[in-house]
């Protein structure tokens, strides 16, 4: 939600792990504005209701009104449309959007070295862009970021190219988020996102 809206119902559908100790229900507000919430309700639904939590691929940003993420039918690769992220209006170097997902089960990745790769092209990127991996701890804390943090390789205008980054996943990781990020302004198209285990993690 951005801008001004009248009352509307919003739903989150998520699978609850067998090992869950509790469920927290809350709303959050990032940035300026006022938010009212009422009528919280928790229900059990059938498997025919699709999950819409963070395990799905989605674009998200701290300043969502400054960015747009769509399936671009006009920029195609290998015959199919691609995902486009672009800035809208003025953005600063601290503004960003990331197209990513949280892995539904982090168990196979703990203690392993992983590689995130994607085909990416960009146009007029004034900040930087590239693949990203985030190892998540308790309470959504960041345990460790991938090796390209602070030096994402894509700037300016570049045609389709394969980019990769790596992370040694801590044994204590609670979640693992992977995707492609855009810092600052510009346009980025992405396709063929892949996460793979490349080796047992080594200290570095």
Q: pLDDT per residue over 50-63, tens digit each?
A: 777 667 788 989 88
CA 17, 20, 21: angle at the middle one, nearest 5?
170
Closest CA to 58 of 85, 26, 89: 85
Closest CA to 103 of 94, 93, 112, 92: 112
Helix then strand then coil, % of the chain, to nearest 5: 5, 50, 50
CATH architecture under which domain 58-200 falls? Sandwich (2.60)
Q: What is the pLDDT of residues 28-85, one digit of tens each?
A: 876 778 999 999 999 999 988 877 766 778 898 988 889 999 999 999 999 999 999 9
Query: Average pLDDT for residues 158-163, to the nearest whole number?
Result: 96
pLDDT at 110 over 90: yes
Buried b (16+ CB within 10 A) or exposed e, 105-125: ebeebeebbbbbbbbbbbeeb
- Break the chain into its structural domains and give their ranges: 58-200
pTM over 0.85: no
């Amino acid at each position: 939600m951005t801008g001004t809206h009248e009352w509307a119902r919003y739903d989150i559908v998520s699978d609850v792990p067998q090992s869950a100790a509790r469920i927290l229900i809350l709303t959050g507000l990032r940035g300026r504005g006022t938010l009212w919430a009422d009528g919280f309700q928790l229900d059990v639904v059938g498997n025919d209701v699709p999950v819409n939590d963070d395990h799905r691929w989605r674009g998200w940003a701290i300043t969502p009104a400054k960015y747009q993420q769509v399936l671009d039918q006009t920029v195609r690769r290998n015959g199919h449309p691609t995902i486009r992220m672009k800035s809208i209006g003025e953005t600063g170097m601290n503004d960003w959007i990331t197209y990513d997902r949280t892995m539904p089960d982090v168990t196979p990745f703990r203690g392993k070295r992983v590689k995130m790769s994607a085909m990416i092209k960009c146009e007029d990127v004034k900040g930087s862009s590239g693949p990203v991996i985030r190892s998540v701890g308790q309470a959504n804390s960041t345990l460790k970021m991938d090796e390209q943090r602070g030096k994402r390789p894509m700037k300016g205008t570049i045609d389709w190219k394969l980019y990769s980054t790596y992370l040694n996943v801590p044994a204590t990781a609670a979640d693992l988020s992977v995707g492609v990020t855009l810092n600052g302004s510009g346009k980025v198209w992405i396709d063929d996102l892949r996460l793979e285990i490349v080796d047992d993690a080594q200290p570095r």
